[in-house]
C-alpha cells in the first residue's frame, strides 16, 4: 500500500470516554429545549455564565454549544447583538440529508417524486377537512402574489413552492409539513440547476389557482383530480430534465 493512504488497521481515531462532560452539558440544554423551558427565539446566557452554572470550563461550553448547533437546536450569531439563540433548524438538516442523498445518487428523482405524490394526496385529503378560514386566506394571498410576479414578467418559483407548504400546514399536522418541505427541498435544488421558464412558472400558478378554487368549494373529487394532473405534469418535467442531465 502506498504511503499517505490510511488502512483499516491503522489507529486513526482516539478512543473516547463513555460520557464526556461537554455531552452532559449539551444533553442538559437539549432537555430544557425539548420540555419547553427554553423556547425558539430565547437566548442562552453568555459562555462565562454558562461555565459558572455548569461548573465547567469555557472550552467545555463551546464544545457543547457546537454539538447543539450541529444538531439543529441553536444558532450562534457573531458580532454586536449576536449570541446563542434557540432556533429550530432541524427541518433544514433533514432537507440537507435528502438533498445530499439525491446528489450522491442514492435516491433518484423518480423515487422522490413518487413519494411527493403520495404525501401530497394525503395532505390534500386532510387539508380539505381541516383547513381554516385563515389557511384559505393565506393560500389565496400566495396565489395572488404569484400572479403579480408573473404579470411583472418574473418567475414565481419560490411562491409556488410556498403554496404546497401552506397546503401542508392547513392539515394541522406539523409532521406533514416536515416531510413535504424536505421532499420539496430536493425538487427545488434540482430545478435550480436548469434554466427556468416563465411559461412553466405561469402554468404552475394556474394549476394552484384551480386547485385552490376546488378546495374553497369543498369539491374533494375535483381537487384530487387537479392535484393528480398538476403533480403528474411536474413529474414528467423533472423526469425529462433528469434524462437530459444523465
All three cell numbers of 113, joined, read: 417524486
Paired with 84 in beta bridges are 76
CB of 139 within 8 A of CB of 170? Answer: yes
What pLDDT score was predicted for residue 168?
A: 95
Say whether pLDDT at 167 is over 60.
Answer: yes
Q: What ranges do the domains of the chain cover?
A: 21-86, 91-245
Average pLDDT, the chain: 82
Note the pLDDT tens digit of each residue in 186-218: 777 777 766 778 998 999 999 999 999 999 999
What pLDDT score was predicted for residue 76?
A: 80
CB of 245 within 8 A of CB of 190? Answer: no
Instruction: Provide the percentage of residues in the chain whose pLDDT is more than 90.
Output: 36
CA–CA distances in Å: residue 72 to residues 44, 91, 173: 15, 8, 21
What pLDDT score was predicted for residue 125?
A: 97
Q: Which has more confidence, 117 or 237?
A: 117
To the question of pTM greater than 0.75 for the whole model, the response is: no
What pLDDT score was predicted for residue 179?
A: 86
What pLDDT score was predicted for residue 40?
A: 80
Note the pLDDT tens digit of each residue in 228-244: 999 998 888 777 766 76
Write out the E strands in 66-215: 74-77, 83-86
CB of 113 within 8 A of CB of 98? Answer: no
> 91-245 architecture in CATH?
Up-down Bundle (1.20)
Task: Tell me which residue of 165, 143, 117 sits closest to 216, measured CA to CA.
Answer: 143
Q: Which fold has domain 21-86?
A: Arc Repressor Mutant, subunit A (1.10.10)
What pLDDT score was predicted for residue 89?
A: 58
What pLDDT score was predicted for residue 12?
A: 34
What pLDDT score was predicted for residue 10?
A: 41
Q: Which has more confidence, 244 or 68?
A: 68
CB of 182 within 8 A of CB of 95? Answer: yes
Supply the angle between the helices 198-217 and 157-169 in degrees, to the nearest 10: 20
CB of 148 within 8 A of CB of 205? Answer: no
SS3 state of residue 85: strand
Say whether pLDDT at 11 is over 80.
Answer: no
Amino acid at each position: 500500500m502506498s504511503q499517505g493512504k490510511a488502512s483499516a488497521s491503522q489507529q486513526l481515531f482516539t478512543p473516547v470516554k463513555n460520557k464526556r462532560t461537554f455531552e452532559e452539558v449539551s444533553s442538559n440544554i437539549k432537555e430544557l429545549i425539548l420540555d419547553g423551558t427554553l423556547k425558539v427565539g430565547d437566548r442562552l446566557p453568555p459562555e462565562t455564565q454558562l461555565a459558572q452554572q455548569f461548573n465547567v470550563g469555557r472550552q467545555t461550553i463551546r464544545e457543547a454549544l457546537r454539538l447543539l448547533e450541529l444538531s439543529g437546536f441553536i444558532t450562534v450569531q457573531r458580532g454586536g447583538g449576536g449570541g446563542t439563540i434557540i432556533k429550530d433548524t432541524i427541518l433544514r438538516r433533514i432537507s440537507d440529508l435528502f438533498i445530499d442523498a439525491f446528489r450522491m445518487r442514492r435516491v433518484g428523482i423518480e423515487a422522490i417524486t413518487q413519494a411527493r405524490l403520495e404525501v401530497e394526496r394525503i395532505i390534500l385529503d386532510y387539508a380539505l377537512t381541516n383547513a381554516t378560514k385563515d389557511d384559505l386566506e393565506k393560500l389565496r394571498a400566495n396565489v395572488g402574489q404569484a400572479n403579480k410576479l408573473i404579470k411583472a414578467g418574473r418567475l414565481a418559483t419560490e411562491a409556488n413552492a410556498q403554496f404546497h407548504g401552506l397546503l401542508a400546514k392547513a392539515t394541522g399536522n406539523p409532521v406533514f409539513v416536515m416531510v413535504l418541505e424536505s421532499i420539496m427541498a430536493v425538487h427545488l435544488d434540482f430545478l435550480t440547476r436548469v434554466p427556468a421558464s416563465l411559461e412553466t412558472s405561469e402554468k404552475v400558478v394556474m394549476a394552484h389557482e384551480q386547485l385552490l378554487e376546488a378546495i374553497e368549494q369543498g369539491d374533494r373529487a375535483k381537487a384530487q383530480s387537479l392535484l393528480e394532473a398538476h403533480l403528474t405534469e411536474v413529474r414528467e418535467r423533472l423526469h425529462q430534465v433528469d434524462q437530459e442531465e444523465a
